[in-house]
């Protein structure tokens, strides 16, 4: 096929490409007031410029619209999320997926540290950490101190715990807490049970000295 | 939808249909055209008009001309359509990758757990209502996107939707009223002050 034909076909395809890019922002049409939409679109441009995923920002704006939040509140939420996405992306480098970055941003919102995110990435350099970060977030939400939750999840990952095992652990901890146990005790009990079926540290994952030092500097178990 | 519109199939079918509508081919028409082409190929040169003209000058030469024109048009249309499909398909891929931080982009195939593979996840609501829908960060918080269906003769409503692995926040709209899932963890909401429910999705 000649170069001219390719150029013509490329020009024909251009509108399709543009429409695909605009599909994200089109979802905001009619959902936000004019001023808020303008601010959100500027935030999306900033995300695109910095190589950050735009999807979570669109979702945050739509969440606010569905919850009938006021415009300024939506603008603030989207702007705040942009900062967390950037921090999560940097902490999860070098190869985070958009889902990982979103999970990292959620974890940061609940108090997880950048060092905690780096630790998860060090243990799972080529796999998704969306579930471990989600479990970390939920453990913290259940009342487990951030440092303790981070150490437990990192240790379980290092032992080769699978995503579904981490989710089961979180579900059990929540059940025990709902039944009256303290979050830390519930986590200790359930972690011992899971450790019994996992290989010892170092046998299935990354050596402990590969982890950032800050990971071990949290509050100690009494 | 754009990809379906650009699929080459319908054009090929139309070209074949046009060829079928032609009258039956006559006698040695094909062999004379092929022989002329073979002679020109043997001479490593473009087909000579002296070779082709006798073939086209046969009693059904208009038929040969129509075959040639339609075949050429079909080839151009099919090749062009395939090229257009490839260009637009590549555009879609580029857009998807562009959403990933460019400095740290990684193909999904490097994730051995299949990060991008959605997992069918069931949501169940128990209660009397006229309509129940699901909203969450997996369906754009769209109140019309994911209605639940009521189990006949019961108060159980359910829907199964594909969701990517990880932590997700959701809620039900029960007769348009925001309702959290009582069986799920609560997601606090410092941004908007409206709590939701949390689900952690992993591999089944």
The domain locations on chain A are 31-91, 113-222
pLDDT above 70 (res B77): no
Other residues' Cβ atoms within 10 Å of the Cβ of residue B192: 19
Residue among A93, A134, A95, A131 at smallest CA distance from A114: A93
Long-range contacts of B47-54 (CB under 8 A, 24+ apart): none
Question: In this predicted model, what pLDDT tens digit does every residue of A192-211 receive, in sequence order?
Answer: 989 888 887 666 544 443 44
In sequence order, the 6+-apart residues with CB closer than 8 A to the CB of B124 are B156, B157, B158
**Which residue in chain B has the smallest CA separation from A100?**
B166
Percent of chain A beyond pLDDT 70? 79
Per-chain mean pLDDT for chain A: 85
User: Cβ B91–A16 below 8 Å, yes or no?
Assistant: yes
Matching residue, tokens 């009521």:
B150
Q: Tell me what pLDDT residue B6 has.
A: 45
Question: In this predicted model, what pLDDT tens digit does every residue of B33-73 receive, in sequence order?
Answer: 445 555 545 444 444 444 444 444 444 555 554 645 555 55
Q: In a 3-state reduction of DSSP, which class is residue B201?
A: strand
Percent of chain A beyond pLDDT 90? 71
Distances B196 to A72, A130, B137, B185, B192 between C-alpha atoms, Å: 21, 19, 11, 9, 11
User: What tokens were used for B12?
Assistant: 């090929």
Q: What is the mean pLDDT of residues B176-184?
A: 95
Q: Tell me what pLDDT residue A91 has.
A: 97
What pTM did the predictor assign?
0.65
Confidence class for position A214, pLDDT limits 50, 70, 90: very low
Nearest neighbour of B100 by CB, restricted to A5, A97, A142: A97
Chain B residues whose beta carbon lies within 8 Å of the beta carbon of residue A9: 80, 83-84, 87
Least confident of B72-81, B86-95, B151-160, B180-189: B86-95
ipTM of the complex, rounded to two decimals: 0.80
What distance in Å separates the CA atoms of residue A75 and residue A53, rounded to the nearest whole number?
Answer: 17
Q: In a 3-state reduction of DSSP, which class is residue B119?
A: strand
Q: Tell me what pLDDT residue A204 has.
A: 54
Residue among A13, A58, A6, A85 at smallest CA distance from B101: A85
Nearest chain B CA: its distance from A146 CA (Å): 16
Chain A residues whose beta carbon lies within 8 Å of the beta carbon of residue B107: none
Nearest chain A CA: its distance from B202 CA (Å): 6
Chain A residues whose beta carbon lies within 8 Å of the beta carbon of residue B135: 66
Question: In this predicted model, what pLDDT tens digit does every residue of B99-148 receive, in sequence order?
Answer: 222 222 333 334 444 456 899 999 999 999 999 999 999 999 999 999 99
Nearest neighbour of B185 by CB, restricted to A60, A102, A138: A138
Q: Tell me what pLDDT residue B32 has.
A: 56
Chain B residues whose beta carbon lies within 8 Å of the beta carbon of residue A6: 83
The DSSP output letter for A54 is S
pLDDT above 90 (res A85): yes
Confidence class for position A25, pLDDT limits 50, 70, 90: confident
What distance in Å separates the CA atoms of residue A105 and residue A99, rounded to the nearest whole number?
Answer: 10
Looking at per-residue confidence, does A29 or A67 come out higher? A67
Q: What is the mean pLDDT of residues B152-178?
A: 96
Other residues' Cβ atoms within 10 Å of the Cβ of residue A96: 27
Q: Tell me what pLDDT residue A216 has.
A: 35
**Which residue in chain B has the smallest CA separation from A134?**
B167
């Amino acid at each position: 096929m000649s170069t001219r034909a390719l150029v013509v076909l490329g020009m024909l395809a251009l509108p399709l490409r543009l429409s695909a890019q605009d599909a994200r922002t089109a979802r905001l049409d009619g959902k936000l007031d004019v001023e808020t939409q303008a601010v959100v679109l500027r935030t999306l441009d900033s995300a695109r410029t910095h190589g950050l995923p735009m999807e979570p920002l669109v979702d945050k704006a739509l969440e606010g619209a569905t919850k009938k939040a006021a415009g300024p509140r939506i603008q603030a939420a989207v702007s705040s999320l942009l900062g967390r996405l950037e921090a999560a992306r940097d902490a999860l480098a070098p190869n985070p997926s958009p889902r990982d970055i979103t999970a990292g941003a959620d974890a940061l919102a609940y108090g997880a540290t950048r060092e905690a995110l780096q630790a998860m990435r060090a243990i799972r350099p080529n796999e998704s950490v969306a579930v471990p970060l989600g479990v970390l977030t939920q453990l913290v939400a259940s009342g487990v101190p951030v440092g303790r939750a981070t150490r437990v999840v990192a240790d379980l990952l290092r032992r080769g715990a699978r995503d579904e095992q981490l989710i089961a652990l979180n579900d059990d901890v929540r059940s025990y807490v709902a039944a009256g146990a303290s979050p830390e005790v519930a986590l200790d009990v359930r972690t011992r049970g899971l450790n019994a079926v996992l290989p010892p540290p170092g046998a299935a994952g990354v050596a402990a000295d590969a982890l950032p030092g800050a990971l071990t500097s949290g509050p100690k178990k009494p | 939808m754009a990809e379906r519109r650009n699929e080459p199939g319908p054009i090929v079918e139309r070209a074949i249909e046009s060829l079928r509508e032609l009258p039956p081919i006559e006698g040695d028409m094909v062999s004379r055209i092929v022989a002329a082409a073979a002679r020109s190929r043997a001479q490593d040169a473009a087909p000579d008009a002296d070779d082709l003209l006798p073939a086209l000058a046969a009693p059904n030469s208009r038929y040969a001309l129509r075959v040639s024109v339609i075949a050429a048009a079909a080839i151009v249309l099919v090749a062009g359509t395939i090229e257009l499909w490839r260009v637009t398909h590549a555009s879609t891929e580029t857009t998807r990758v562009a959403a990933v931080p460019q400095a740290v982009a990684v193909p999904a195939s490097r994730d051995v757990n299949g990060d991008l593979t959605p997992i069918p996840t069931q949501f169940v609501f128990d209660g009397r209502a006229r309509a129940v829908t699901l909203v969450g960060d997996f369906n754009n918080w769209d109140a019309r996107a994911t209605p639940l269906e009521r189990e006949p003769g019961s108060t159980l409503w359910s829907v199964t939707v594909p969701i990517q692995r990880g932590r997700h926040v959701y809620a039900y709209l029960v007769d348009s009223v925001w309702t959290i899932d009582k069986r799920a963890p609560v997601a606090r909401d410092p941004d908007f002050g409206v709590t939701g429910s949390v689900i952690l999705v992993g591999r089944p």
